Structure 1
Amino acid sequence: MFVRTESFKQFKQLYPVVTTVVAIHLILFLSMKLPLLPNKLIFESLVGVNIYIGMGEYWRLVTPIFLHAGLAHVLFNSFSLVLFGPALERALGKWLFVFVYLACGIAANIATYLLNPPYYTHLGASGAIFGLFGIYLAIIALKKGAMPPQGKQVILPMAAIGVIMTFFQSGINITAHISGLIAGFLIGALLIQIKPVRFW
């Protein structure tokens, strides 16, 4: 379920949303590293800054989902999405997957805005990715038989490790991680009421 055996071509065809999001991660990250003044200005206009959100720049609740601060940051989040995104994209369909991924990320950024100081700055896909974990947890908890046992054996410890590491790593947006997870669980609980979700 979480083991990737596809070729790159097959992966692109089977999981177009995951492929597109990862490509956006990498393109934006690489473009921000070019020594061009416009790139720096673009980055500064897209990153999440609470005081600017409060002044009406609401796009900053969305754009930070696709931005990353460093190479390790962008690679880790992109790798996590490649591992845990495809099963949900296949189960939900590409457009519903887009909606729930963005909804989790936006919910995490709204919580960051509400619960952190005005000059708090944030970026990264972690809130949305923790949201995917939350959706999986909702399906495991509330929809018996929807997920194979081997899927549960991966998701449960990974979610637990992710939450624990959130509190022990520096520079982590704890609010986004936890609120993304909660938002994902709530969205997952709603999803299984309106759509049959199975990973078999």
Structure 2
Amino acid sequence: MFTRTESFQEFIRYYPVVSVIVSIHIILYLLTALPIFPNSLLFEQLSGVNLYIWQGEIWRLITPIFLHSGFSHVLFNSFSLVLFGPALERILGSFRFTWVYLITGISANVATLLIEPVTYIHLGASGAIFGLFGMYISLNVFRKHLLSRDNRQLITTIAVIGIIMTFFQQDINVISHLFGFLSGFLIGALTLRKRA
């Protein structure tokens, strides 16, 4: 389930949303890393700056989901998405997966806006990725038959470790991780129970 055996072309065909999101990550990273134009321009316009969001730049609740601060940041988040996104895209379907990803990422950024100081700046896909973990836990609770026992144990262990590590790593948006996870779980609880 979490082991990738598809060819590159098969991966793109089977998981179009994950493929598009990872492509956006890479394109935005390259635009900020390569000397095509001042890399600060994208960060200035797209990062989540709480002050600017309060002043009406609402797009900053969405754009930080796709923007990363460096190579290791984009690599880790993109790898996590490639590892954990495909199975969920297959289970939910591309349309629902897209909305879960966006809503959990936006929820994480709204929570960051409301809880962190007005001077706080944030970016990265981890809120949305933790939203996927939350959705997996909902699947584990409400629709167990969609996941094998081994996969349920694996994803639960990874989600728990991810949440614990949130509190021990530097420069982590703890609010984003927690509220991304919570929103993913709640979306699953609301939608999966109705269909059970």
TM range (shorter): over 0.9
| 2:145 alignment partner, SS class | coil
| Unmatched segments (≥5 aa) in structure 2 | none
CA distances 1:8-34 after superposition (whole Å, capped 9, x unpaired): 111000000000100100010011112
- TM-score, normalising length from structure 1? 0.94
Aligned residues: percent identity? Answer: 58
- Structure 1 CA distance, aligned partners of 2:2 and 2:36? 39
In the comparison of the two structures, how many residue pairs are matched?
196
In the TM superposition, residue 42 of structure 1 has moved relative to its aligned partner by 2.6
Structure 2 equivalent of residue 44 of structure 1: 44
Structure 1 equivalent of residue 88 of structure 2: 88
1:178 correspondence with 2:181: no
CA distances 1:142-185 after superposition (whole Å, capped 9, x unpaired): 22323111211210110011011100000000000000000000
Structure 1 equivalent of residue 109 of structure 2: 109
For 2:67, the aligned partner's letter is L
After TM superposition, the structure 1 = structure 2 runs for residues 54-73 of structure 1, keeping only pairs within 5 Å, are 54-73=54-73
Structure 1 equivalent of residue 129 of structure 2: 129
- Structure 2 CA distance, aligned partners of 1:91 and 1:140? 13
CA distances 1:40-73 after superposition (whole Å, capped 9, x unpaired): 2132110000000000000000000000011111
Structure 2 equivalent of residue 76 of structure 1: 76
- TM-score, normalising length from structure 2? 0.96
In the TM superposition, residue 37 of structure 1 has moved relative to its aligned partner by 4.1
Structure 1 equivalent of residue 140 of structure 2: 140
- Structure 2 CA distance, aligned partners of 1:114 and 1:152? 33
RMSD of equivalent CA atoms: 1.2
In the TM superposition, residue 39 of structure 1 has moved relative to its aligned partner by 4.1
CA distances 1:104-139 after superposition (whole Å, capped 9, x unpaired): 000000000000000100000000000000001011
